Amino acid sequence: MNAVEVTITEVGPRDGLQNTKSFMPTAAKKAWISAEAAAGVRSIEVCSFVPAKIIPQFVDAEEVLAYANAIPVLTPVVLVPNFKGCERALAAGARRVTVPVSVSEAHSMSNVRKTTAQAIEDFARMADLVRSQAKSKRAQLVGGCSTAFGCSLQGAVAEEDVVRVAAALQEAGADAISVADTVGYANPEQVKRLFRKVRKVIGEDFNIEAHFHNTRGLGLANALAAYEVGVRYFDSTLGGLGGCPWAPGASGNVVTEDLVFMFESMGVNTGIDISKLIEVRQTAFAAFPDAELYGHISKAGLPKGYHPGRAPP
Amino acid sequence: MNAVEVTITEVGPRDGLQNTKSFMPTAAKKAWISAEAAAGVRSIEVCSFVPAKIIPQFVDAEEVLAYANAIPVLTPVVLVPNFKGCERALAAGARRVTVPVSVSEAHSMSNVRKTTAQAIEDFARMADLVRSQAKSKRAQLVGGCSTAFGCSLQGAVAEEDVVRVAAALQEAGADAISVADTVGYANPEQVKRLFRKVRKVIGEDFNIEAHFHNTRGLGLANALAAYEVGVRYFDSTLGGLGGCPWAPGASGNVVTEDLVFMFESMGVNTGIDISKLIEVRQTAFAAFPDAELYGHISKAGLPKGYHPGRAPP
């Protein structure tokens, strides 16, 4: 088997579920996570350690994480919104923790009632907490630059602000930087320019991840653009789960199976079995009718004579 | 006003309508064409000169073309499947004629009951016919390489075959070459590779056009890839009209308004007013309920503070 060239993190169990109206049963979450892992997905964001009174969907975060931690070869990721969430996540055995920091001040205030600078200070405290863990079981910490491509509250977000936040998160102790198009404003030219600028400051060899939404249809084009400037880590959700993708302000994510299809068609190995992944889409939400799915490859089917990961003659 | 950097040809009145079940009234076609022209679309494929007994939708081809020809600044394009269609089109005053030739032998036989070589011979006869026109009113002839990225009948299509067909069409007298992903099999890597190969043979300065379908979701990513290797002419349809885009083998086209949004967001001038274009989508099909539309920007809305054609700070 060839080496995996692009790592896709399925963020559906977190980003996909955080805005759904009904609760996805814990057993269904577990089945979804294990089925995707069996299809070759090696990185899954499984839950958020946000207070259950704010997002009841994640009341079972500890249980879901424990389940995911027991799946061989899977690296579960969890999202934490603040220090308390980080404490909970680490106590629950989190091995990889993403902390989003809004580059947009308006979004930061609206989302966590903190300025961006205050959120960076919080991140530094979380980094200290992580560093206090025994080295052998120390968690990886991902610093997320949210609303990096624009904000539905404040509009444009200056690229120098994104670069500054990314550098601050790295300086504070992040093991990787994620650059997120939280509201689906990014375009491919902007993607290339911004990732180049960020990488120039954090270093070409430092882990950098891309999180795109498909709100305005450019998700795959943006992923392609990021790939072209060297990004090799991408978030997406099965079936594009993440609220109604068609509504104004919707958060529809890039569709995992379409993203995998794009890369595999290009001959870029994701390590994921696209046929199995399409099956997971068909079964994972059977008991969760609230899921509003979209996407193309699952409906159109694979091309005739298609060989994943193999370029045509 | 800045110079147009990318020309988008709206092919909805032809490619979008050829598989719809009901007849779009001639008045509605005219209104659609003139509304898009008013939004800044300068190139529209308005009809096909295929026998009405085969596709009744185009029984009004002469009338629609005459109407489009009378719109200032618009370059109407027509599709012709064979020599007789070409005669009809030229007699009707066509100024730009696209002739598709299937690179896939299986598709060629199925579609026009000719081998690819025979179709190229036909093309040469059409080129002679065009050349017999008075120079002042001579039509432009576009040689289309169909199924260039794969075929739902034969599977893979060899890239050398595409290059060979493109060169033959140029040699026979084409004024431009169109390379078409007729069934939505293309991926961005293949797009770059194939357009580079074709351009190497027909010449970097020779007009080359891209026609992508969005069947498997990669339409915009493929358009981006083609743009990156120098392609500046793209086909698309308003609302992605072109059969049900979700059905297996569906022909859903790249969505014009999403394609315009992508380029304008990148700071690439299309000359098209995206807001007006979105309005056209809302009105053009009011009297044509058979239209199955999809797409993103028309539903999500433009980003806050969005300025078409202007890169963010």
| Each residue's pLDDT tens digit, B231-257 | 999 999 999 998 544 444 455 899 999
Q: Per DSSP, which regions of B11-132 are E strands?
A: 43-48, 75-79, 96-102
- Candidates B107, B194, B266: best to mutate against A (most CBs of A within 10 A) is B266
| Contact across the interface for A190 and B224, Cβ inside 8 Å | no
Taking an 8 Å cut-off on Cβ atoms, the answer to whether A265 and B151 are in contact is: no
B310: pLDDT strictly greater than 60: no
- A231 located within any domain: no
Categorize the per-residue pLDDT at B174 as very low, low, confident or very high, splitting at 50, 70 and 90.
very high
Residues B204 and B249 placed together within one structural domain of the fold: no
List the single residue in A with minimal CA-CA distance to B161.
A313
User: Is the model's pLDDT at A249 over the cut of 80?
Assistant: no
Q: Which chain B residues touch A153 with a CB distance below 8 Å? A: 304
Same domain, A63 and A142: no
- What pLDDT score does B151 carry? 93
Give the count of Cβ contacts less than 8 A between chain A and B: 156
* Bridge partners (DSSP) listed for residue B97: B78, B141
What does the pLDDT average to over B212-229? 97
Supply the DSSP symbol for A135. Answer: G
| Average pLDDT, integer, range B278-288 | 93
Question: In the predicted model, is pLDDT for residue A137 greater than 50?
Answer: yes
- pLDDT tens digits, one per residue of B48-85: 999 999 999 999 999 999 999 999 999 999 999 999 99
- One domain for residues B184 and B162: yes
Residue B223 lies in a domain: no
The confidence score (pLDDT) of residue B235 equals: 98
Overall domain count for chain A: 2
Q: Residue A252 has which token pair?
A: 């529809």
Could you count the other beta carbons within 10 Å of the beta carbon of residue A285? 21
- Residue of A151, A163, A304 best to disrupt the B interface, most CBs of B under 10 A: A304
Pairwise CB contact (< 8 Å): B216 & A248: no
Q: Which of A159, A185, A220 sits opposite B218 (nearest CB)?
A: A220
Q: Is residue B87 part of a domain?
A: no
CB contact under 8 A, A218 and B217: no
With H, G, I as helix, E, B as strand and everything else as coil, classify residue A2.
coil
| pLDDT exceeds cutoff 80 at B311 | no
pLDDT of residue A289: 84
The percent of residues in chain B predicted with pLDDT above 90, rounded, is: 87
Identify any residues that bridge with A140 across adjacent strands, giving them in sequence order: A96
pLDDT in tens, B96-142: 999 999 999 999 999 899 999 999 999 999 999 999 999 998 999 99
Residues on chain A touching B188 (C-beta within 8 angstroms): 224, 262, 266
pLDDT band at A90; cut points 50, 70, 90: very high
> Hey, are the CB atoms on B184 and A300 less than 8 Å from each other?
yes
On whether both B207 and B115 belong to a single domain, the answer is yes
Contact criterion met (CB < 8 Å) for A218 and B265: yes
Check whether A162 has a pLDDT greater than 90: yes
Question: pLDDT by residue (tens digit) across A106-133?
Answer: 999 998 999 999 999 999 999 999 999 9
**Residue B86 domain-assigned (yes or no):** no
Q: Is residue A219 situated within a structural domain?
A: no
Of A15-24, A263-272, B60-69, B238-247, which range is least confident? B238-247
A180 and A250 inside one domain = no
Last residue of some domain: B185, B215, B245? B215
Do residue B146 and residue B250 come from a single domain? no
A34-48 as b/e: b if 16+ CB within 10 A? bbbbbbbbbbbbbbb
CATH of the domain at A266: 3.20.20.70
Comparing CA positions, the residue from B217, B251, B99 lying closest to residue A258 is B217
Please tell me whether residues B99 and B76 are part of one structural domain: no
Q: Are residues B13 and B114 in the same domain?
A: no
- CB pair distance less than 8 Å for A155 and B296: no
Give the pLDDT of residue A246: 42
Q: Is B57 helix (H, G, I), strand (E, B) or coil?
A: helix
Q: Band the pLDDT of A270: cuts 50, 70, 90.
A: very high
Which of these, A163, A149, A157, lies nearest to A106 by C-alpha position?
A157
Q: What is the pLDDT of residues B6-45, one digit of tens each?
A: 999 999 999 999 988 899 999 999 999 999 999 999 999 9
Task: Reply yes or no on whether the pLDDT at A313 is more than 60.
Answer: no
Examine the domain organization and report whether B56 and B100 are in the same domain.
Answer: no
Q: Does the beta-carbon distance from A223 to B221 stay under 8 Å? A: yes
DSSP codes of every residue in A81-126: SSHHHHHHHHHTT-SEEEEEEESSHHHHHHHHSS-HHHHHHHHHHH
Looking at A190, A208, A226, the residue that finishes a domain is: A208
pLDDT at B20: 87
Mean pLDDT across chain A, nearest whole number? 93
Kindly state whether residues B148 and B115 are assigned to the same domain: yes
The reply to whether A193 and A102 lie within a common domain is yes
Partner-chain residue, chosen from A221, A300, A305, that has the shortest CB–CB distance to B156: A305
Mean pLDDT across the stretch B157-167? Answer: 98
Among B262, B265, B300, the residue with its CB nearest the CB of A215 is B300
Q: Is the pLDDT of residue B211 over 50?
A: yes
What residues form DSSP beta bridges with A10?
A: A44, A236
Nearest to B187 among A221, A266, A313 (CB): A266
* Other CB atoms within 10 Å distance of the CB of residue B98: 27
Q: Would residue B222 count as lying in a domain?
A: no
pLDDT at position B251 is: 56
Q: Would you call A244 a catalytic residue per the annotation?
A: yes
Whether residue B228 lies inside any domain: the answer is no
Q: Spell out which residues of chain A touch residue B249, defining contact as CB-CB under 8 Å.
A: 300
Which of A183, A266, A304 is nearest residue B155 as measured by Cβ atoms? A304
Q: Which residues of B touch A197 (CB under 8 A)?
A: none
CA distance B313 to B303: 15
3-state secondary structure of A237: strand
Res A242: pLDDT: 87
Condensed to tens digits (0 to 9), the pLDDT of residues A29-68 reads 999 999 999 999 999 999 999 999 999 999 999 999 999 9
d(CA B100, CA B253): 16
In this prediction, residues A91-100 reach a mean pLDDT of 98
Domain containing B257 equals 1-81+237-313
Flag whether B175 is in a domain: yes
Domain boundary among B182, B215, B248: B215
Cβ-defined contact of A189 to B258 (cutoff 8 Å)? no
Identify whether residues B287 and B261 lie together within a single domain: yes
Task: For residue A132, give how far its alpha carbon lies from the nearest alpha carbon of chain B (Å).
Answer: 40
Phi and psi torsions of B312, nearest 5°: -65, 165
